[in-house]
Amino acid sequence: MTTGLRTFNVLFLCADNSARSILAEALLNRLGAGRFQAFSAGYGVAEAVSPHALALLEKINYNSDRVHAKQMVAVMDAADPGFDFIIRLSPDRRGSARMPQFSGTPVIVDWHMPDPADISGAAATACADIFNLLAARLDVLANLSEACLTGPRIQTRLDRMGEDSVRLAA
């Protein structure tokens, strides 16, 4: 069954693709099912997805077999579906000032968030805080009209959504 609505491709990037971007991918695929196809990758790659992120995905009955840590090159070139949006959840720690070349002209947005693994002794709580913040932002994104998503002010709107301060419980 087709809905007649356009599908938007969204890539979430973070340092290691172990928690933040994995959660964002799963949430948008759930909240925006049919309208959004979400992907995630890291500038580098973690050995495994965070067990705290996997536990959160299990709580929402998300098939965690579908997620795995991968490096950015895994979603480039032939695997690049033509991203409409690239949302960076952390700065590129490789020291590169340039964004890698993806096909098309994606809207690039920074929603930098702390890495839950960096919060000593409270990674599970920090991961849950990030999950809740992402859920709120992505619920808004998933419910924007196609006209808004393709309009001239979408960059500003998404940038403003990322201005909310992130305070993690410690």
pLDDT attached to residue 99 = 67
Q: Is the pLDDT of residue 161 over 80?
A: yes
Q: Is residue 123 a contact partner of residue 50, using CB atoms and an 8 Å limit?
A: yes
Q: Is the pLDDT of residue 94 over 80?
A: no
pLDDT attached to residue 167 = 52
- In degrees rounded to 5, what are phi and psi of residue 88? -90, 120
Question: What's the mean pLDDT when you consider all of the chain?
Answer: 87
Report the alpha-carbon angle 56-29-78, nearest 5: 120
Confidence of residue 123 (pLDDT cuts 50, 70, 90): confident
Sheet with 85-88, strands from edge to edge, namely 36-42, 8-14, 85-88, 107-110
Say how far apart CA 75 and CA 110 lie, in whole Å. 19
pLDDT attached to residue 169 = 47
Give the tokens for residue 53: 């992120």
Q: Is residue 73 a contact partner of residue 50, using CB atoms and an 8 Å limit?
A: no
Give one word for 52, left, alpha or beta, with left for phi > 0 and alpha for psi -120 to 50: alpha
Q: Is the pLDDT of residue 83 over 70?
A: yes
Percent of the chain with pLDDT over 70: 88
